Structure 1
């Protein structure tokens, strides 16, 4: 079997790079409300995960075991996280929303020593400072955040973004706990399935005449983002310290900037380039710290590195 050193790190990076393609897919989807896009993205991703497990004779992994309620909560957390993230986008702007969403590593670093008994290393702290600074430069709007008004509905958006970041931290740490009883595919499947069910009412707010021209893009979007990207990030989060996983996830806005530059022709400022370098430097630091961690089996995902902490 193909063994790759630092496989869990690579899984998070690859998964978040696929998440970073969201802007490309959204640019190709027309006349659909965001709620419908979210539902069909989840739906087609869920079908992909189920189909993969079916053809590989691994459907038994989906059998609920212990911690069923925590598994159910994972789907709730994912859905509520999406709601508050998009509320933040609506009331403020994309730049502020993604910055607040990616405050998650701060909450993870504060909570993981108590929730998961993880130690906070100097490398993690240094990487956190670099990564947050990098994300700030990557998404900093022209004129700076100080030029924006933070009152009324905008204040609601800011609070929503902060809450979305907290929920993302909870999602990352919850994966670590669920890995004790479930495979990464089962965690990804049930989290997506529950979110999909909760978003089901929005499936019918779009007519088929509007859906049909966007169907192929939505299918690919779901497979790439949720089906492959979601599973890869779950694999990584399950087999890394939550601090490391949350920091590596900051590669997503950098990937988004790269795809916007290459495929959509969005200009790349010097500040954005500097921010990308800082985030990449943070990823290098957390990837090469703790090099004694075992390799991960990229073929047999269900047999990948087990969690050694006992919560």
Structure 2
């Protein structure tokens, strides 16, 4: 039966819906290199998280516990994941890049039994096939993937996309490990802070006259995507089995299609609609069949939230 306490499930879904708004924000940003967009997106998100922790009197949670090296690695993984994802977009196309990026649940399902001692249920395997098929239908090019030329540069792009997917899987599983010694808010803050620091050199490559007209959009982009979305997905990933969290994250491209349809007037094909339905079906399956571990984690999280 569907459980009432679904906090972590909803956190991942809502966070990924906010991530899915990326296309809307990018459409409103002009004459900025993608590296500058990434930096200011991270910066405004970091500022929001800090203000949130200050207002809610949670700054004490930022004191690093054990596994400090994993906090550092989390920030590095996020930046490197962005780099290889955008390299894949550049060398292939957006459709191929997002498909390869969201092979992450495959790697999580293969690795989590060994890394995190998580069991792989039949429902998770079914949801994985439905979700991957759904993402394929959502983002496939009109001419089909067979139209892509497998030249040297395209092979580099494909390899980059696969590596980005592997890194996304590592990021999701690393959150589960970090949760043993850090709060979800500390993980979100330090991961973002380290990523922002690594991207700092790109902040000075953009002239102010190009940056100024985009500041308001960048601020909202960072707050919505990195700030609110980042905290929500971190809460979800920390309190769910990693394979469940990675499957729920596949809602992001579906959300992106929805926002493009409603706000940008992008046409919705029958194949795209079918893909969205498959991904949503996968999300329903993993939500209805939450493992005892994730259900217990959800209960603990809600109890802690009530007492804090």
Aligned equivalent of 2:125: 125
Farther-moved stretch of structure 1 (285-294 vs 187-196) = 285-294
Aligned equivalent of 1:238: 238
Superposition pairs for residues 228-307 of structure 1, below 5 Å? 228-290=228-290, 292=292, 293-294=295-296, 295-296=298-299, 301=305
Following superposition, the deviation at residue 5 of structure 1 comes to: 1.1
Post-superposition Cα deviations, 1:175-217, rounded to whole Å, max 9, x if no partner, equal 0000000000000000000000000000011111111100000
Q: Separation in 2 of the partners of 1:234 and 1:89?
A: 25
Post-superposition Cα deviations, 1:261-293, rounded to whole Å, max 9, x if no partner, equal 000000000000000000000000000003651
Aligned equivalent of 2:20: 20
Q: Separation in 1 of the partners of 2:169 and 2:110?
A: 10
Query: Do 1:184 and 1:302's aligned partners in 2 also have CA atoms closer than 8 Å?
Result: no
Task: Go from structure 1 to structure 2 and tell me whether the alpha carbon gap of 1:299 and 1:43 turns closer, same or farther (over 3 Å shift).
Answer: farther
Question: TM-score with structure 2 length normalisation?
Answer: 0.95
CA RMSD of aligned residues (A): 1.6
Q: Structure 2 regions of 5+ residues with no counterpart?
A: none
Q: Structure 1 regions of 5+ residues with no counterpart?
A: 305-311
Aligned equivalent of 1:161: 161
Aligned equivalent of 2:35: 35
Where is the helix percentage greater, Structure 1 or Structure 2? 2
Post-superposition Cα deviations, 1:200-251, rounded to whole Å, max 9, x if no partner, equal 0000111111111000000000000000000100000000000000000000
Question: TM-score with structure 1 length normalisation?
Answer: 0.94
Q: Separation in 1 of the partners of 2:22 and 2:303?
A: 26
Aligned equivalent of 1:115: 115
Farther-moved stretch of structure 1 (147-156 vs 245-254) = 147-156
Divergent runs of 4+, >2 A: 294-304
Superposition pairs for residues 114-263 of structure 1, below 5 Å? 114-263=114-263
Task: Go from structure 1 to structure 2 and tell me whether the alpha carbon gap of 1:286 and 1:206 turns closer, same or farther (over 3 Å shift).
Answer: same
Residue 58 of structure 2 corresponds to residue 54 of structure 1 = no
Q: Separation in 1 of the partners of 2:92 and 2:306?
A: 41
